[in-house]
Amino acid sequence: MGEMDAAIQEFLVESDENLSAVERDLVDFESHPEQQETLASIFRAVHTIKGTCSFLGYTKLESLAHTGETLLSLVRDGELSLTNDIASALLNTVDAVRQMLAAIEQTGNDGTEEYQDLKNVLIALQKGEAPPTPTDVPEASALSTESLDAQDAQEASAVTAQSGDVEVSSPEVNVAAPLQPEPSSVKPQAESSAADMDGMDAAIQEFLVESDENLSAVERDLVDFESHPEQQETLASIFRAVHTIKGTCSFLGYSKLESLAHTGETLLSLVRDGDLALTNDIASALLTMVDAVRQMLAVIEQTGKDGTEEYQDLKNVLTALQKGEAPPTLTESSEALTPSAESLAAQKAPENSDATAQSGDVEASSPEVSVASASQPKPASVKPQAEPTATPAEHRGPSAAESSIRVDVGLLDKLMNMVGELVLTRNQIGQGLLKLEDPALFHASQRLSLITTELQEGIMKTRMQQIGNIWSKFPRVVRDMAPALGKEIRLEMEGKETELDKTLIEAIKDPLTHLVRNSVDHGIEIPSVREERGKPREGRLLLRAYHEGGQVNIEITDDGGGINVERVTEIAIKKGVVTAEQVAKMPERELLGLIFQPGFSTAEKVTNVSGRGVGMDVVKTNIEKIGGTIDISSKPGHGSTFRLKVPLTLAIIPALIVTSAGERFAIPQASLLELVRVDGENGTQNIECIQGAPVYRSRGQLLPLVYLNKVIALGAQPHSDEEDAEYSTASNIVVLQADSRRFGVVVDEVNDTEEIVVKPLGKQLKGISIYAGATIMGDGKVALILDVMGLAQKANLRDQDKDQGEIEHVNAATDQNLRTLLLVKVGSQGRVAIPVSHIARLEEMPDTVKEAAGGQEVVQYRGTILPVLRLSTLLATCGYASEEHDGTFQMVVVRYKGRQVGIMVDRIMDILDVALGPLTRSEQPGILGSAVVQERVTDLLDIETVWQNTLMNEAELEATDCVGV
């Protein structure tokens, strides 16, 4: 068993790929039955699995695959159409095969389960009957692990014996299949392949590339096996390759090629079974066969047909060798031996679905042969091979096989590392050159920089995979789940070709699957409910992927019932995830976020589909592990959207470099929100302490602060008395987002942003949660990369009950007494205060940018049209008059209820934290009231009025827009 391990391992990996392809294609073919090449690909995949099982001695698996293949062949030949029953049965077969493969992986044999029920269903379907008990099928495929363990390993000899049994047990299968004589079945197909070449082109192209690889492998392995005949797995690999070629030829209708490959395979099977030793003659004949197959492939590539050459001579040689006879001197192989009737029969009836039956025939007839062959080692007869007909075809441009290669992922990883180092070296050279001021060197360095960037992009591209690769299994998931839940769901995918790094693809696979299942299970309603709500019966699930800002966005949108926020909160409280008081203070977005909390599940009953072990919290953790974020938006009655943002790659990330206590640290930009600089005087005012915990007032909200130099305890010396003094001297705050929590990190200096190459830390440093890794800076020194989550944890920021409560409490207190106000001047006398919490930005613009639309002043602002209101006009009734100004104007951009509007003011004066006393109520529209601020009476702007004004104007604006269009 030991030396077969490699072959089995390869078989498992390959079969898994094949099964995924079959699943995808089956679902695809169901909806596009005109795409013949999809069926071709299904058929090939199943056939390959079957062939390999046969070789490795997994008879039960083979028998099952064979039954499925026979059914497929009927569909292919147009005898049956792919009904829902058939598709389901085939998909169940895929599942059963998967289970068997799992059994093989665990125990080394294919289990005791025969899947007779499933096979009966398949057989019934072949006959065009309705499946006997389709409902039993899922149960039949549920294989218990106990039965696996209990099972004894099967003897190889027993396997071959059973192989015969299996064939006998399903004779009706073969009868049902149209055993058409070869020429008639091939002809029409050959014609059709010439006629609608387009349809089959993809399949043929793939076949050519694959066969070329296979042939090279066969060549290599044959030579290898000759010198190391004890390596059974080499032979296994040869056999599989030849078998795959044969099977595919048969499907594509290349009968001549198939016949040749078949003869070779038969010879190989004798060698495999130990009936023949691999003599020099046999090896030579097989290599000649490889050459012949190559030629035929070249002909196929050029003409689409496998040519007229029958290679009868070569086949005769192969047949003679099968009988253990000395080959008719190969050089004169044109003088053909009379082939035995038996081998002729084998060649002339190559039913693709029946390959094993034939090899059974050969095996049965081989005992007499083997006696003769045993005494026939002829190692000395090394005759130069006169390739009978093999004059290599002229090369005309790159062939299909040459245009793509397979590369080991390990090699790509290595290249990626090297490019990372190149980037660093480039940075170092760039910095060094600045001191030299040599123009020639400078240009060379610029060029180096450019090439490095291109190289980096190129290497990254090789690791990129389309997200479609993982999406491809979702149609099956939806197809299986929807009927089980009594739902009708249409799955749509946009942006399948969006690419991201292979490691990331792997990482988001499971979370995505969970989200899709979740949407199908909980999101979309059953048809009757949908109709009641006035929606189409069929639910729509949309997967969307696109690049944005150096990140990949993936959205999973359903048009289902949306998330019931009340129920979410109710359950969250019941399960003790949050307290009722906390809930009361949470904005809606955070309430939705509760479903990501550990220990939360809204599923009222555990259905077949939900509760597979991955909760939403795991989804979130896994996405965050790779530096991504997940976000929900939901509209009750209209559906919900899960939005994932993941980085393009993990190896090279943009980061902010900061200095603290003389050391540099990199902070990943993905978690960076903003940078705040606090000056000495102001700093004292803005940074305050709540029981020793420093906080900063950022636009009316309290931002918990973390002092980086304290967290990392650089130059650690505890001195509690000076702490308060220290806080006030802080200058730079880096505002970060960890989880849903914002916090500020106080650093000494903010240096620059840079693309950094992430390198892992050694084992000795793994336990320290505040580092995500290390990188090498432009000057060659190492800098540590901070882990934002770890930093937040270290500073106890995530201790929800305590901190959150306290901060909220303080916040509420602040709201009552203290307001941060922007003071603006209107006219010569007027002072108006605008609450900072509503202000998005302050701008100064030249007058010339002002345009008019629909009688309203507007400016083009960040890609949108921003309506501008003159504060003086707005408050005209209060007796304000605008002053003249000098070519520029100052504008306060206010955001309110999701809209932005610019308020033109005469001068922006100051930002103040003001303890507002009782307001003197004002009857003027647009003014909330008046208060004394800085010993002067100031009007407080009523944002609501501004907003209503904007709304009015916007309506006009939209009307104008329409006219314009």
Binding footprint of another protein on the chain (CB under 8 A):
420-421, 424-425, 663, 712-714, 716, 759, 761-765, 768, 770-771, 774-776, 780-784
User: What HEC string does 859-895 produce?
Assistant: EEECCEEEEEEEHHHHCHHHCCCCCCCCCEEEEEEEE
Q: Which residues of 186-221 are buried (b: 16+ CB within 10 A; e: fewer)?
A: beebbeebeeeeebbeebbebbbbbbbebbebbbeb
How far does Cα 560 stand from its chain's mean position? 24
User: Residue 624 CB, nearest distance to another protein (Å)?
Assistant: 22
Judged by CB, which is closer to another protein: 61, or 774?
Answer: 774
Q: Least CB distance from residue 713 to another protein, whole Å?
A: 6
Q: Which residues pair with 266 in a beta bridge?
A: none
The dihedral through the CA atoms of 26, 30, 32, 34 has a sign that is positive
- C-alpha span between 942 and 944 (Å, rounded): 5
Name the residue nearer to another protein (CB basis): 781 or 841. 781
Q: Is 78 helix (H, G, I), strand (E, B) or coil?
A: coil
Of 202 and 455, CB closest to another protein: 455
State whether the Cα torsion 438-441-443-448 is positive or negative. negative
> Quick count: other Cβ atoms within 10 Å of Cβ 527?
17
The pair of three-digit structure tokens given for residue 817, joined into one six-digit string: 């007494």
In whole angstroms, the minimum distance from the beta carbon of 783 to another protein comes to: 6
Distance CA 80, CA 749 (A): 74
Which CB sits closer to another protein, 270 or 774?
774
Task: Please report how close the Cβ of residue 442 comes to another protein at its closest, in angstroms.
Answer: 24
* Measured distance CA(693)–CA(803) in Å, rounded: 10
The distance of closest approach from Cβ of residue 757 to another protein in the complex, given in angstroms and rounded to an integer, is 9
- Calculate Rg over the CA atoms of the chain: 37
Q: Smaller CB distance to another protein: residue 642 or 771?
A: 771
Residue with tokens 């409280």: 573
Cα–Cα distances in Å, from 66 out to 129, 143, 265, 815, 896?
19, 20, 18, 74, 67
Residue 822, C-beta contacts closer than 8 angstroms, at least 6 positions apart: 833, 834, 835, 836, 839, 842, 892, 908, 910, 911
- Shortest Cβ 371–another protein spacing (Å): 53
Question: Nearest approach, Cβ of 795 to another protein (angstroms)?
Answer: 13
Nearest distance in Å: CB 911, another protein: 36
Say how far apart CA 75 and CA 81 lie, in whole Å: 6
DSSP states of 921-947: E--STTEEEEEEETTEEEEEE-HHHHH
Shortest CB 668 distance to another protein, Å: 17
Question: Looking at beta carbons only, is 147 or 431 nearer to another protein?
Answer: 431
CA 27, 32, 36 angle in degrees (round to 5)? 100
Q: How far is the CB of 700 from another protein (least distance, A)?
A: 34
Q: Which of residues 420 and 523 has its CB atom nearest to another protein in the complex?
A: 420
Nearer to another protein, 43 or 665 (CB): 665
Q: Determine contact, residues 136/162, Cβ cutoff 8 Å.
A: no
Positive or negative: CA dihedral 167, 172, 176, 180 = positive
Minimum CB–partner distance for residue 124 and another protein (Å): 57
Question: Between residues 403 and 453, which has the closer beta carbon with respect to another protein?
Answer: 453
Nearer to another protein, 421 or 883 (CB): 421
Nearest to 485 by CA among 530, 447, 451: 530
Smallest gap from residue 450 Cβ to another protein (A): 21
CA 681 to chain centre: 51
Quote the tokens at residue 942: 């009523």
Give the residue from 119, 101, 87, 102 showing the smallest Cα distance to 23. Answer: 87
Query: CA 595 to CA 585: how far, in whole Å?
Result: 17
Minimal distance, residue 422 CB to another protein, in Å: 9
Residue number, 269 or 709, with CB nearest to another protein: 709
> What DSSP state is assigned to residue 596?
G
Q: What is the helix (H) or strand (E) element at residue 546, kind and residue range?
A: strand 539-548
Contact 561, 630 (CB under 8 A): no
CB of 663 to another protein, least distance (A): 6
Q: What SS3 state is found at 59?
A: helix
Residue 48 has φ and ψ, to the nearest 5°, of -65, -45
Paired residues of 853 in beta bridges: 856
CA distances from 170 to 126, 279, 357, 704 (A): 12, 37, 11, 74
CB of 714 to another protein, least distance (A): 5
Rank residues 424 and 833 by Cβ distance to another protein and give the closer one.
424
Closer to another protein by Cβ: residue 741 or 759: 759
Nearer to another protein among residue 606 and residue 713 (C-beta): 713
Residue number, 432 or 929, with CB nearest to another protein: 432
Q: Which residue number, 544 or 794, has a Cβ lying nearer to another protein?
A: 794
Nearer to another protein, 134 or 430 (CB): 430
Three-class DSSP labels, 680-748: HHHHHHHEEEECCEEEEEECCEEEEEEEHHHHCCCCCCCCCCCHHHHHHCCCEEEEEEECCEEEEEEEC
774 or 836: CB nearest another protein: 774
| Distance (Å, whole) CA 120 – CA 123 | 5
